[in-house]
Amino acid sequence: MTDTIAKMKNSSRSMAVLFKVLQTILYVGMGITLCSAIFLTLFPNGSASWLSIRVYSGLSFNGQALTLAQLPIMTSVLCWMVLLQIMFYQARDVFQDIYTSGTPFTPVNVRRIRTIAIVLLIGSVLPGLLQYIASLFAQVPAGEFVNGIALTVGLVLLCLARMFAYGVQIQQENDQLL
């Protein structure tokens, strides 16, 4: 039993570190995307006339420089990056809590898993809505509005949070007996 707990704690610590690394990478991506979106909003044709030179954001889409037409996609991507940041933070804390407490069945982990599920449910609609609004601004067609995968995974995680809540009850009863 203690060998199993030790393995669980070690793998939880590794996962917590992995999610911290992913968060850092995501911060960099968010910065690049945000700077590109601001640049495209200020200079829709990719040029900065006040500099008297042609400037591009350094990113390309199908071999062409980014233009205002890519703003809806960038808005959606930036929204997903923020949502992923929230989910990674919660997931990292779940694994960190497992490492410190030695059990996954704690009330705070139930709340964290539920938060991840709610963020996914929001993510199934919000990026599409923001993409639609940005497409009106950029006068280009919008993509899909609802992300079915995020919706499905969010619902599954809500069910998983319920199972964890039951596991918390069993863990508490077990701890009282011992």
User: Tens digit of pLDDT for each residue in 128-156?
Assistant: 998 888 888 777 777 778 999 999 999 99
CA dihedral 47, 48, 50, 54 (to 10 degrees): -60
* pTM beyond 0.95, yes or no: no
| pLDDT for 49 beyond 50 | no
The pLDDT, as a whole number, for residue 56 is: 41
Residue 57 burial by CB count (10 A; 0-12/13-18/19+): exposed, middle or buried?
Answer: buried
The CA distance from 78 to 170, in Å, is 40
Mean pLDDT of 85-109: 94
Q: 157, 113 in Cβ contact below 8 A? A: yes
* Residue showing tokens 């619902």: 155
Query: Stretch 115-133: mean pLDDT, rounded?
Result: 93
pLDDT over 60 at 76, yes or no: yes
Structure confidence at residue 46 (pLDDT)? 55
| Virtual torsion, Cα 77, 80, 85, 90, nearest 10 deg | -170
**Number of alpha carbons in the 13 Å side-chain half-sphere of residue 17:** 6
Segment 82-103 shows an average pLDDT of: 94
Distance CA 28, CA 30 (A): 5
The residue among 35 and 11 whose pLDDT is bigger is 11
> Which pLDDT belongs to residue 168?
95
Q: Please state, in angstroms and rounded to a whole number, the distance separating the CA atoms of residues 28 and 172.
A: 41
pLDDT band at 53 (very low <50, low <70, confident <90, very high): very low
d(CA 165, CA 134): 40
Most confidently predicted of 9-13, 113-117, 168-172: 113-117
The pLDDT mean for the chain works out to 83
